[in-house]
Amino acid sequence: EVQLVESGGGLVQPGGSLRLSCAASGFIFSDYDMHWVRQAAGKGLEWVSGIGFAGDTYYSDSVQGRFTVSRENGDDYLYLQMNNLKAEDTAVYFCAREGPEAMHYLDVWGKGTTVTVSS
């Protein structure tokens, strides 16, 4: 079964850091681009970051310079290092797999991990 499981969320103070992890299983992780998408309570989906299977990275303007996406293909893990966190980063963070052939749609999603930035 294809599966993505996020972890690492929690409560952090403004200015703090947090590292999210996403464990992939049921598919050849190294063949796929991966993304992080977040959703604040009661709000819509917001793309955060993406990483190609070869390691090229992409970021939204709202997190550029503060967040770093990475992957460990040998262990089938995706990561999101979040620094200098702000209240507006509070959200559920989803890990998602991009479909094949660089068509830029997300065909598999995890259940999400919650990040709360508050003093």
Partner 1 sequence: SYDLTQPSSVSVSPGQTASIPCSGDKFGHEFACWYQQKAGQSPVLVIYQDTKRPSGIPERFSGSSSGNTATLTISGTQAMDEADYYCQAWDSGVMKFGGGTKLTVL
Closest approach, Cβ 67 to partner 1, in A, equals 14
Under a CB-based contact definition with an 8 Å cutoff, are residues 31 and 88 in contact? no
Under a CB-based contact definition with an 8 Å cutoff, are residues 91 and 39 in contact? yes
Task: Say if residue 73 is exposed, middle or buried (CB neighbours under 10 Å; 0-12, 13-18, 19+).
Answer: middle
Contact pattern from residue 5 through residue 34 relative to partner 1, giving x for each residue in contact according to CB under 8 A and a dash for the rest: ------------------------------
What residues between 89 and 108 interact with partner 1 by CB under 8 A? 94, 99, 103-107
Beta bridge partners of 116: 11
Contact pattern from residue 45 through residue 64 relative to partner 1, giving x for each residue in contact according to CB under 8 A and a dash for the rest: xxx--x-------x-xx---
**What are the φ and ψ backbone dihedral angles of 25, each rounded to 5 degrees?**
-155, 160
Closest CB to partner 1 among 44 and 65?
Answer: 44
Residues of the shown chain interacting with partner 1 in the complex, contacts defined by CB under 8 A: 35, 37, 44-47, 50, 58, 60-61, 94, 99, 103-107, 109-112
